Structure 1
């Protein structure tokens, strides 16, 4: 699910900060952001930039943002979670009038644009960590027929979910900091990927492949000089676990086309935050391609057991919207330790209940401790 990085939001509350005369804490839906005193009143609309936004380095309107990141060779200003005067501050909110590109679109009617993402209007993009140099050669872009991983943050959906699902059980699952890996089986020729590096012919009846977050990975090819295979962590793990055969057998038996999405963890994957000694694949979703939906927790558990595929840790189900009174309590619950004793990234909450579009209800809570410490 694509994040809306630049949106119009309303100031819900303005809270004082201890021993701070010039700043206060703005409550924007479930987010907390430090603002200058007098910049906003309760009920005002503003332009809210979510954390992970990359903003134009040369735009003077953002010159006060000191943190920078480089992505695809371009250096930009970067919005990250910070702690100031003992308070967590996430994102940035600015008066609508201060961003002319958006002000001219809104034209004095901000309430009509609450669902709109203005990122393109002002050239804001989401920062993404560079993929591991062990991800291999690109065979194609990530396929259109599989939904990329990602959930809404609880800060953006708390009120809506609490109103509708207070009595619903969710399974908290461990969110891990590795590299996204997807394995897939298809037998519909419209879904076949046909570039160099894969055995494809007119008589081909089925296909399996492995992908990173952004691309399907080409089968390792011999180095033209040494003749040795150019190995990569994704394909190596895919082959060692026998995922192609496992998926093929299960899908033929059950007349399905599916993808299994998970986290690749290991010594040279994303600086090995999780401290794994060898490359390890942990599944966290199954995607039914024909139904264009993710599996429910119950379906996921059954399939992974049948395939003997390791999963991320799944905790006992709870009713979060009855158990917790606000966003802060859910975020606090998301704090804790991962498998190897490091500060966990957070939790993803999944329910067996489907929403109106037929998708299992889910959301994520990212640990503020993790975010503050992550550079």
Structure 2
């Protein structure tokens, strides 16, 4: 769930329903928001509070998490073939934890419970799951290999001193995702399971295939509007960070963000757009970078590609159908649009099953039968409103 603009791996919710699993003696199926989870029989009743821990998570080694040891404390999508049931995430009672959990729906308890991404690469790629000290160490890698720094890091007062000197976000604004643009935000999209009531909205949506890679944002800003000369600033960003040409320890060392910026001549194309639209103060393209070394390369690509899905300028976000026309003019690839007027079904289970499928060969360098991660839906009356539906079959195949 996205809370205050950040992915929450653990949050307080209420049990939506409890169902018997035919043939099961010890377990039953419960609902949390739109998620299906396994729990012990009698552990919950409808309306009870719980801490819901999402897939992609790794919990700390605590007394309350001991039952997850054989799973290496990782939370993944599970298929119980014997009962024909899929379980995603876990729900736990509030009173089993060694800290006090507030009884308030939607409360983020990720940091309180010391929960991180199960895959360290995800923590780096998404800029989350790292605590402030770990991020500080990554940004000062050479320094933190020194023995005296390691000695300080083993002491609470030493960690705090180093963070005061090196880790304060205010000293590192240059690498933060720029937040000064009115209409530009990070590319995280909410999962449909965290907003199941969306199915009641019968406004048509544009349905696009969700490419699986690393999020990228490219922004060109007009910084000087002098009649004789305009100045610009070009921003290249990963999901949560501004990326510079030099290697950054929080992104892959081969820096695909700048590789594609140069290869696709993105800065010049954004400048051309601004020159044709005199009133615009900035323009932004956001997309997914997919390639041989990214996310296991589900698209079977031989080189890096940028598949765009958002276009924004100082007037607001574009309808993706209009944005695609502009990307086509500039020779920029985009995510495949499957349906321009998709109406959400009434049944959530039917909706989830619709996420299984294959990518268009256009985003797979001609390869057929590449399993698709899922769909993204954009409201036709409000392009800023979007959400995603990830295939359970895809997650199980990838062990997520």
Shorter-chain TM-score tier: 0.7 to 0.9
Q: Determine the structure 2 residue equivalent to 1:147.
A: 185
Q: In the alignment, does 2:199 pair up with 1:162? A: yes
Deviations along 1:208-262, one digit per CA (max 9) or x if unpaired, are 23222243332359xxxxxxxx964332221111111001110232132122111
Deviation at 1:302, TM superposition (A): 3.6
Number of positions where the alignment pairs a residue of Structure 1 with one of Structure 2: 325
Q: 1:88 aligns with which of 86, 89, 100?
A: 86
CA contact (8 A) 1:131 1:179 kept: no
Q: In the alignment, does 2:388 pair up with 1:364? A: yes
State how far apart, in whole Å, the 1-side matches of 2:48 and 2:341 are.
Answer: 36
The verdict on how the C-alpha distance between 1:176 and 1:208 changes in structure 2, with shifts beyond 3 A counting, is same
Q: TM-score, normalised by structure 1?
A: 0.78
Q: 1:304 aligns with which of 295, 304, 327?
A: 327
CA contact (8 A) 2:34 2:193 kept: yes
Deviation at 1:128, TM superposition (A): 5.9
The verdict on how the C-alpha distance between 1:133 and 1:30 changes in structure 2, with shifts beyond 3 A counting, is closer
Q: Determine the structure 2 residue equivalent to 1:72.
A: none
Q: Determine the structure 2 residue equivalent to 1:237.
A: 260
State how far apart, in whole Å, the 2-side matches of 1:319 and 1:269 are.
Answer: 30
Q: 2:243 aligns with which of 193, 211, 217?
A: 217
State how far apart, in whole Å, the 2-side matches of 1:162 and 1:328 are.
Answer: 11
State how far apart, in whole Å, the 2-side matches of 1:78 and 1:133 are.
Answer: 17
Unpaired segments of 5 or more residues in structure 2? 126-137, 140-173, 248-252, 361-366
Instruction: Map residues 1-375 of structure 1 onto 2, 5 A cutoff.
Output: 1-56=5-60, 58-65=61-68, 66-68=70-72, 77-84=73-80, 85=82, 86-103=84-101, 106=102, 110=103, 113-127=104-118, 130=121, 140-145=175-180, 146-159=184-197, 161-163=198-200, 165-166=201-202, 168-188=203-223, 205-219=231-245, 232-254=255-277, 255-256=279-280, 257-288=282-313, 290=314, 294-321=317-344, 324-339=345-360, 340=367, 341-354=369-382, 360-375=384-399
CA contact (8 A) 2:199 2:346 kept: no
Measured on the aligned residues, the alpha-carbon RMSD in Å equals: 2.8
> Per the alignment, in what secondary structure is the counterpart of residue 305 of structure 1?
helix
Deviations along 1:51-86, one digit per CA (max 9) or x if unpaired, are 222311x21211222334xxxxxxxx3211111232
The verdict on how the C-alpha distance between 1:127 and 1:296 changes in structure 2, with shifts beyond 3 A counting, is farther
State how far apart, in whole Å, the 2-side matches of 1:18 and 1:6 are.
Answer: 29
CA contact (8 A) 2:13 2:50 kept: yes
Q: Determine the structure 1 residue equivalent to 2:364.
A: none
Deviation at 1:132, TM superposition (A): 12
Q: TM-score, normalised by structure 2?
A: 0.74
The verdict on how the C-alpha distance between 1:133 and 1:7 changes in structure 2, with shifts beyond 3 A counting, is closer
CA contact (8 A) 2:215 2:288 kept: yes
State how far apart, in whole Å, the 2-side matches of 1:210 and 1:275 are.
Answer: 25
CA contact (8 A) 1:180 1:264 kept: yes
Deviates more, 1:240-249 or 1:15-24: 15-24
Deviations along 1:84-128, one digit per CA (max 9) or x if unpaired, are 23211011111122225234xx3xxx3xx1132122322223456
The verdict on how the C-alpha distance between 1:272 and 1:129 changes in structure 2, with shifts beyond 3 A counting, is farther
> Per the alignment, in what secondary structure is the counterpart of residue 26 of structure 1?
strand
CA contact (8 A) 1:102 1:121 kept: no
